[in-house]
């Protein structure tokens, strides 16, 4: 294994990790507010087509990313109205959002099939971005840096800001937060919209960076991995980052197994690994008796204040 | 002319579907006055203070604050006026620190460091001890209440509403709380004190307003009233004392617990250490203690939910049952009522009849060839409803549709009518109004009179003193020496509850 191979491998892993890191961070914030949104996959697809479409029309990938965020947020608000205003079941509504997102993104994408955009790659000078070694630092799409910056930002927000404290309080005990006088519904709307925007940006990484074109269901189940990641990380941002890279490596192994005909284990085995690892990690955590110690106590429960 | 009242309510009316929660209620609280709001569960006390604190809006009537007519839009507006509230069910966030919890209750944004120094100042001023960086789930109930009090005091309130603050405190903690409240009142803060503990109201309050069925019954001076006269105003009838046959004698030992130890259940649980006691036939044995000192573990160890490796650790009529599970122990006549009604003692989304099947199926033969005898279950549930005057639409009512007090009566009745040899109950009258509590106490006394042994685990010392023959105090998973209630001294019990044992008390 040469140095070139290792560099290529790292760049692949970073690429595979970024979408699930973004969507996972968004979902972590949503879940910290006490809402379980299983529609990540659907929001990623909506983000993928929105980002692509905006880029096609404006020729500006920055607007494309904003469009993806807006698309994902809009899709998530549909979910928010149903679960927050009408108290529909969060699990069922989240699954419906995934199905809806898959369908609407296909419909929106009809006129974009076969078109391509300029991939949204590194904005650093070519001498850095294409440099043999420095590309490890400078050779990525701005979305990658955005995702990495969002990790400490989200940590800071949740731990050290008043808004973050209120958000955690709402997820921990919605009735108490309500009785103190915080608007549980507003906080959850904001969290859900943030989660949608992050999933949208994660989704557009597929249509604007990895393969700069639109294809139906192009996120290929990564939304589900992002969801598993949040549980795997025990609702901690630092562990989410580590977990995302761990899953990224597993996904890279799957690609490698496919591409090289590397055959002592079938590629499906590697494809199944992230999920299998989640189960293993969860059993390990619960066997230590600290299961859910960090899980928001109100996760997935509807907010029903007594009159 | 006298200065205007701090808070004055006139004609407050609040209607819920099917219920008139408050009907034309009015009273006034003067600056620096400690004013009691007295009434049974469902009398409308909570609804009334929720309107003062802005959680609900009245349908009619007016609220005046320092003479000005106001409407309190929400709790934030209430706090802005200077109204603080300490809730009965603490609005705390278990997984967060004391500091974070207090910060959440503050409307203004205060940097964590300033807030911490202000908290320390308030705690010093009123002698309230707390560690700001502890996680709430590791704190005792008394400490949790202190968080709520500090949170309210940081706002420099002019009116502090306390909702049933002493139900979970030791006598010493109650005394400390009263000291804080008296100091606050001296400084001019008005206190609206909600309770149904009459001797506390006599000891603390200047005025008492009594509500019954949503209506104002009387505003009186607790110093000139007796506890009995206030209780009768509160329940609107004459109060029945527990009646028991004079000169009772106890039979042979029925339940014997010997050197019972149980490891802690989870990081926040309490281990039981070397617990021994005996309950004779016809005896009611009380276990006092502050919440979280092993009461839950003791109940589980006695009911069989947490079986012990040593069969001889629990014996019933000489038969070792310590290793048996709950169902097998029921076969030996051991019934139990845990503290948590919903989800432990009863399944909220089951009917009352189905809930009866859960514990009575073996003793009363409600299951035949694996099939539930629905008719027998309904009949039994109907008997319980009848005998304990449970307010429910019938045996097919969902458990969750009952009020807390009615569900408690049903659950107690479900066990008592099975005529168990040994009955273990935890917090039998928690959140139950005085009338229902009296009925439950009488039923326990009557069951004991038939020769059953009864263990009552409760944090309500008054309840234990009036109900039990013998009592002991649990602290840190250890049980004190049992003492006859007739000879028990409140001070000593209080010290035991606080974890101070005889030798320390004698040291000076």
Mean pLDDT of the region B450-465: 91
Contact: A172, B96; criterion CB under 8 Å: yes
Q: What percent of chain A has pLDDT over 70?
A: 94
Q: Do A162 and B79 touch (CB under 8 A)?
A: no
Q: Which residue has the tokens 């589900």?
A: A224
In a domain, B367, yes or no: no
Determine the Cα–Cα distance for residues A240 and A231; give it in Å rounded to an integer.
Answer: 9
B190 and B261: one domain?
A: no
- Does A176 contact B93 at a Cβ distance shorter than 8 Å? yes
**What is the number of structural domains in chain B?**
2
Please answer yes or no on whether A181 and B76 come within 8 Å at the CB atom: yes
Interface test with A, best of B72, B81, B93 (most A CBs within 10 A): B93
User: What per-residue confidence (pLDDT) applies to A282?
Assistant: 66
Listed as own residue / partner, the contacts of A11-14 with beta carbons closer than 8 Å and 24 or more positions apart are A11/A135, A11/A136, A11/A139, A11/A140, A12/A252, A12/A255, A13/A245, A13/A248, A13/A249, A13/A252, A14/A140, A14/A144, A14/A248
The per-residue pLDDT for A293 is 59
pLDDT over threshold 80, residue A278: no
Residues of chain B neighbouring A164 (CB-CB closer than 8 A):
none
Is-contact B464 B295, C-beta < 8 A? no
Q: What's the mean pLDDT when you consider all of chain A?
A: 90
C-alpha distance from A255 to closest chain B C-alpha (Å)? 41
In B, minimum Cα distance to A288 occurs at B266
The nearest CA of chain B is from the CA of A202 a distance in Å of: 31
Please report residues of A whose CB lies closer than 8 A to that of B93.
168-169, 172-173, 176-177
On whether both B217 and B257 belong to a single domain, the answer is no
* Assigned token pair, B98: 């004391």
Q: Please check the confidence at residue B244 and state whether its pLDDT lies above 80.
A: no
In a shared domain, residues B175 and B140: yes
Is the Cβ–Cβ distance between A103 and A78 less than 8 Å? Answer: no
Same domain, B204 and B273: no
Which residues lie closer than 8 Å to A70 by C-beta, 6 or more apart? A50, A197, A200
Per residue in B28-66, pLDDT tens? Answer: 999 999 999 988 777 888 889 999 999 889 999 999 999
| pLDDT tens per residue, range A1-53 | 688 888 989 999 999 999 999 999 999 999 999 999 999 999 999 999 999 99
Q: How confident is the model at residue B350 (pLDDT cuts 50, 70, 90)?
A: very high
CA distance A172 to chain B (A): 6
Chain B residues in contact with A182 (beta carbon < 8 A): 104
Taking CB atoms and an 8 Å cut-off, how many pairs form between chains A and B?
Answer: 53
Nearest to A307 among B16, B79, B91 (CB): B16
How many whole angstroms separate alpha carbon A153 and alpha carbon B45? 46
Same domain for B225 and B275, yes or no, is no
**Residues of B whose CB is below 8 A from A169:** 93, 96, 100, 104
What chain A residue is nearest to B84 in terms of C-alpha separation? Answer: A180
Minimal Cβ distance to A179: which of B55, B96, B266: B55
The reply to whether B309 and B175 lie within a common domain is no
Last residue in a domain, options B171, B200, B235: B235
Which is more confidently placed, B193 or B401?
B193
Give the 3-state secondary structure of chain A: CCHHHHHHHHHHHHHHHHHHHHHHHHHHHHHHCCCCCCCHHHHHHHHHHHHHHHHHHHCCHHHHHHHHHHHHHHHHHHHHHHHHHCCCCHHHHHHHHHHHHHHHHHHHHHHHCCCECCCCCCCCCHHHHCCCCCHHHHCCCHHHHHHHHHHHHHHHHHHHCHHHHHHHHHHHCHHHHHHHCCCHHHHHHHHHHHHHHHHHHHHHHHHHHHCCECCCCCCCCHHHHHHHHHHHCCCCHHHHHHHHHHHHHHHHHHHHHHHHCCCCCCHHHHHHHHHHHHHHHHHHHHHCCCCCCCCCCCCCCCCCCCC
| Nearest-CA distance B344 → chain A (Å) | 19
The answer to whether B372 and B357 have CB atoms below 8 angstroms apart is yes
B382 in a structural domain: no
* Domain at B478, CATH number: 3.40.50.300
Put simply, the answer to whether B104 touches A165 (Cβ < 8 Å) is yes
Under DSSP, the state recorded for B113 is H
Whether the CB-CB separation of B29 and B65 falls below 8 Å is answered with no
- Within a domain: B359: no
Residue A62 has pLDDT above 50, yes or no: yes
Is B491 part of any domain? yes
Which segment of B53-67, B116-130, B271-285 scores lowest on mean pLDDT?
A: B116-130
Q: Using the beta-carbon criterion (under 8 Å), do A297 and B94 form an inter-chain contact?
A: yes
Asked which of A106-115, A173-182, B56-65 is least confident by mean pLDDT, the reply is A173-182
CB contact under 8 A, A180 and B55: no
Contact criterion met (CB < 8 Å) for A172 and B95 = yes
The Cα of B408 is separated from the nearest Cα of chain A by a number of Å equal to 21
The partner residues of B192 in beta bridges, in order of sequence, read: B35, B161
Say whether pLDDT at B107 is over 80: no
Residue at which a domain ends, from B235, B266, B300: B235
State whether B257 and B142 are in the same domain.
Answer: no
Shared-domain flag, residues B116 and B49:
yes
Residues B127 and B53 occupy one common structural domain:
yes
According to DSSP, the β-strands at B159-163 and B190-195 are parallel
Whether residue A181 and residue B91 make contact (CB cut-off 8 A), yes or no, is no
Question: What DSSP letter does each residue of B399-415 carry, written as one string?
Answer: GGGS-HHHHHHHHHHHH
Three-class secondary structure of residue B35 per DSSP = strand
Interface pTM (ipTM) of the complex?
A: 0.78
Rounded distance between C-alpha atoms, residue B493 and residue B479, angstroms: 12
Nearest chain A Cα distance for residue B435, angstroms = 25
Residue B44 lies in a domain: yes
Instruction: Please identify, among B235, B266, B287, the residue that sits at the C-terminal boundary of a domain.
Output: B235
| Residues of A whose CB is below 8 A from B14 | none
CATH number at A3-287: 1.10.3470
Predicted pLDDT at B506: 40
Spell out which residues of chain A touch residue B92, defining contact as CB-CB under 8 Å. Answer: 173, 176
Q: Is residue B401 part of a domain?
A: no
What's the angle, vertex CA B94, arms to CA B92 and CA B96, rounded to 5?
A: 95
Does one domain contain both B316 and B463? yes
Partner residue opposite A307 with nearest CB, options B56, B107, B266: B56
Tell me the residue range of the domain where B209 lies. Answer: 7-235
Which residue out of B103, B104, B109, B138 would a mutagenesis test of the A interface target, given it has the greatest number of A Cβ atoms within 10 Å? B104
Determine the pLDDT at residue B438.
86
Helix or strand or coil: residue B156? coil
Q: State the Cα–Cα distance between residues A116 and B131, nearest whole angstrom.
A: 61
Question: Six-digit token pair at B398?
Answer: 């969902």
Selected residue with higher pLDDT from B36 and B236: B36
Burial of A246 from C-beta contacts in 10 A (0-12 / 13-18 / 19+):
buried
Evaluate if residue B501 carries a pLDDT over 60: no
Bridge partners of B190, per DSSP, are B159
Spell out which residues of chain A touch residue B96, defining contact as CB-CB under 8 Å: 165, 168-169, 172
Give chain A positions within 8 Å (CB) of B56.
307
For residue A113, give the nearest of A66, A56, A62, A44 by alpha carbon. Answer: A56
What is residue B453's three-state secondary structure? strand
Which pair of structure tokens corresponds to residue B496? 């035991």
Same domain membership, residue B108 and residue B196 = yes
Set of chain B residues whose Cβ sits within 8 Å of the Cβ of A298: none
Chain B interface residues (partner A, CB cutoff 8 A): 16, 54-56, 74-76, 79, 87, 90-96, 100, 103-105, 107, 109, 266-267
Do B162 and B199 fall into the same domain? Answer: yes
Higher pLDDT, A71 or A4: A71
- The pLDDT-based confidence of A172 (bands split at 50, 70, 90) is very high
């Amino acid at each position: 294994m040469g140095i070139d191979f290792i560099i290529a491998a790292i760049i692949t892993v970073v690429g595979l990790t970024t979408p699930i890191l973004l969507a996972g961070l968004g979902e972590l914030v949503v879940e910290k507010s006490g809402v379980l949104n299983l529609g990540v996959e659907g929001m990623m697809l909506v983000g993928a087509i929105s980002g692509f479409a905006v880029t096609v029309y404006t020729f500006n990938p920055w607007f494309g990313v904003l469009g993806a965020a807006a698309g994902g947020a809009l899709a998530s608000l549909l979910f928010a109205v149903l679960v927050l205003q009408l108290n529909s079941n969060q699990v069922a509504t989240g699954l419906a959002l995934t199905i809806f997102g898959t369908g609407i993104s296909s419909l929106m994408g009809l006129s974009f099939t076969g078109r391509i955009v300029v991939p949204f790659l590194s904005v650093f000078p070519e001498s850095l971005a294409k440099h043999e070694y420095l590309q490890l630092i400078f050779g990525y799409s701005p979305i990658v840096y955005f995702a990495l910056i969002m990790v400490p930002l989200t940590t800071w927000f949740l731990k050290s800001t008043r808004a973050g404290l209120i958000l955690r309080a709402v997820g921990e005990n919605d009735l108490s937060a309500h009785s103190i006088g915080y608007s549980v519904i507003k906080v959850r709307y904001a969290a859900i919209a943030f989660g949608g925007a992050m999933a949208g940006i994660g989704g557009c990484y597929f249509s604007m960076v990895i393969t700069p074109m639109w294809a139906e269901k192009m996120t290929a189940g990564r939304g589900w991995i992002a969801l598993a990641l949040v549980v795997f990380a025990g609702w901690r941002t630092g562990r989410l980052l580590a977990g995302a890279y761990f899953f990224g490596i597993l996904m890279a192994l799957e690609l490698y197994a496919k591409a090289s005909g590397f055959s002592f284990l079938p590629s499906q085995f590697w494809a199944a690994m992230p999920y299998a690892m989640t189960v293993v990690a969860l059993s390990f955590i619960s066997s230590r008796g600290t299961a859910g110690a960090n899980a928001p106590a109100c996760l997935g429960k509807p907010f029903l204040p007594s009159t | 002319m006298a200065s205007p009242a701090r808070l004055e309510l006139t004609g407050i009316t609040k209607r819920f579907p099917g219920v008139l929660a408050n009907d034309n209620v009015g009273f006034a609280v003067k600056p620096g006055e400690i004013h009691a709001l007295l009434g049974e569960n469902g009398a409308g006390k909570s609804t009334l203070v929720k309107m003062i604190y802005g959680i609900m809006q009245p349908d009619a009537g007016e609220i005046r604050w320092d003479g000005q007519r106001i409407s309190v839009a929400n709790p934030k507006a209430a706090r802005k006026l200077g109204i603080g509230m300490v809730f009965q069910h603490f609005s705390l966030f278990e997984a967060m620190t004391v500091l974070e919890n207090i910060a959440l209750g503050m409307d203004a944004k205060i940097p964590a460091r300033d807030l911490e120094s202000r908290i320390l100042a308030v705690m010093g001023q009123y002698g309230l001890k707390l560690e700001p960086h502890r996680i709430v789930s590791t704190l005792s109930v008394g400490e949790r209440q202190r968080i709520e009090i500090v949170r309210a005091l940081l706002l420099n309130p002019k009116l502090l509403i306390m909702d049933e603050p002493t139900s979970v405190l030791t006598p010493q903690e109650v005394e400390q709380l009263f000291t804080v409240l008296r100091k606050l009142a001296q400084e001019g803060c008005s206190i609206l004190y909600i309770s149904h503990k009459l001797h506390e109201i006599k000891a603390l309050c200047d005025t008492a307003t009594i509500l019954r069925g949503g209506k104002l019954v009387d505003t009186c001076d607790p110093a000139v009233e007796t506890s009995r006269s206030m209780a009768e105003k509160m329940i609107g009838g004459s109060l029945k004392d527990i009646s028991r046959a004079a000169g009772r004698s106890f039979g042979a030992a029925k339940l014997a617990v010997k050197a019972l130890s149980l490891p802690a259940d989870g990081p926040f649980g309490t281990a039981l250490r070397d617990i021994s006691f005996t309950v004779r036939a016809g005896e009611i044995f009380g276990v006092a203690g502050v919440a979280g000192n092993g009461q839950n573990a003791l109940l589980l160890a006695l009911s069989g939910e947490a079986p012990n490796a040593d069969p001889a650790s629990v014996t019933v009529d000489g038969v070792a049952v310590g290793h048996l599970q709950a169902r097998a122990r029921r076969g030996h006549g051991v019934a139990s009522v845990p503290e948590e009604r919903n989800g432990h003692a009863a399944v909220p989304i089951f009917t009352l009849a189905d809930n009866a099947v859960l514990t009575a199926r073996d003793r009363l033969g409600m299951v035949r060839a694996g099939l539930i005898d629905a008719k027998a279950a309904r009949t039994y549930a109907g008997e319980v409803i009848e005998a304990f005057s449970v307010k429910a639409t019938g045996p097919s009512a969902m458990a969750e549709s009952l009020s807390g007090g009615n569900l408690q009566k049903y659950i107690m009745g479900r066990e008592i009518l099975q005529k168990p040899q040994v009955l273990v109950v935890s917090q039998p009258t928690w959140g139950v109004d005085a009338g229902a509590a009296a009925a439950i106490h009488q039923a326990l006394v009557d069951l004991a009179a038939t020769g059953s042994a009864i263990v009552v685990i409760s944090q309500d010392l008054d309840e234990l003193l009036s109900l039990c023959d013998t009592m002991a105090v649990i602290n840190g998973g250890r049980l004190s020496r049992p003492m006859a209630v007739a000879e028990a001294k409140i001070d000593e019990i209080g010290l035991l509850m606080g974890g101070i044992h005889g030798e320390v008390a004698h040291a000076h």
